[in-house]
């Protein structure tokens, strides 16, 4: 994954919280693991586990323009902040279960921080 693809991936992940991308249903076992992972990350303030599986809809395996991906991610962050302040974020995540604003905030921060550090951006 290039830095531009990472920016696009982060944009797509934010679109899940904004309910613009609907993820497919998953096996109940994976859902249970996801819910436990969410709580483990919050309790121990851990980051995203290494090699955590990614939903197919969120994988970016095509070429992206860095400036366009950056602009799109910044717009998604503005949209996310508006939705956060107005309690319009999704109430459910296919992997992490029930979600409140604080859950989205924590997980989105950890996800963005993980990738921005990964690419030193």
Overall pTM surpassing 0.75 (yes/no)? yes
What's the CA gap between 118 and 40, in Å, rounded? 22
What's the CA gap between 14 and 9, in Å, rounded? 9
C-alpha radius of gyration, the chain, whole number: 14
DSSP category for residue 88: -
114 touches 48 (CB < 8 A): yes
Task: Give the distance from CA 73 to its chain's centroid.
Answer: 12
Per the prediction, the chain carries an average pLDDT of: 94
Q: In the chain, which residue ranges form alpha helices assigned H by DSSP?
A: 3-17, 28-44, 66-85, 101-118
- 121 has pLDDT over 90: no
| pLDDT at position 51 | 77
What mean pLDDT is predicted for residues 83-102?
Answer: 96
Contacts 24+ apart (CB under 8 A), 18-23: 18/76, 18/79, 18/80, 18/83, 18/88, 18/89, 18/90, 19/89, 19/90, 21/57, 21/58, 23/55, 23/57, 23/58, 23/93, 23/94, 23/95
| pLDDT at position 105 | 95
């Amino acid at each position: 994954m290039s830095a531009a693809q990472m920016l696009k991936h982060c944009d797509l992940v934010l679109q899940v919280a904004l309910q613009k991308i609907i993820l497919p249903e998953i096996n109940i076992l994976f859902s249970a693991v996801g819910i436990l992972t969410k709580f483990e990350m919050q309790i121990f303030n851990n980051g995203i586990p290494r090699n955590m599986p990614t939903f197919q809809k969120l994988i970016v395996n095509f070429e992206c323009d860095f400036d366009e991906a950056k602009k799109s991610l910044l717009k998604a962050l503005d949209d996310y902040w508006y939705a956060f302040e107005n309690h319009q974020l999704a109430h459910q995540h296919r992997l992490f279960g029930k979600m409140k604003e604080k859950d989205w905030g924590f997980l989105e921060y950890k996800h963005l921080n993980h990738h921005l550090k990964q690419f030193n951006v």
